[in-house]
Amino acid sequence: MLFAIICRDGPDAKELRLRLRSAHLEYLEGFDGEGALPLAGPLTDGAGSLIVVDLEDEQEARRFTDNDPYNKGGVFEEVEIHPFKQVFPEPSS
């Protein structure tokens, strides 16, 4: 099941991102290797990040965000998880 995760940055995010970036990317690579991470990246207005994950349920999506080094390290001040349905491009079966 797809989930859109919106992570809003905290006040010290810019400094913390630099320090935690390699751990964050390594964490994401583990999910990318499993095919569970269709896309992820920062919002270019500096508000935070958007991550789309393909996981079994919302509990797993919550665990994913709870264990992300950016979240654990204080980069993210707020995390929203929303079930997501891809319409376009039409997903392959």
Give the domains, in start order, of the chain with CATH numbers.
2-84 (3.30.70.1060)
Residue 65 contacts residue 81 (beta carbons within 8 Å): yes
- pLDDT, residue 74, reads 97
Query: Tens digit of pLDDT for each residue in 17-43?
Result: 999 999 999 999 999 888 899 999 999
End-to-end CA distance of the chain: 13
Q: Could you report the per-residue pLDDT of 36-92, keeping only the tens digit for each?
A: 999 999 999 999 999 999 999 999 999 999 999 999 999 999 999 999 999 999 887
> Span 2-13, mean pLDDT?
97
Q: Indicate the pTM of the whole model.
A: 0.93
Q: What is the pLDDT of residue 93?
A: 63
Q: Does pLDDT of 13 surpass 90?
A: yes
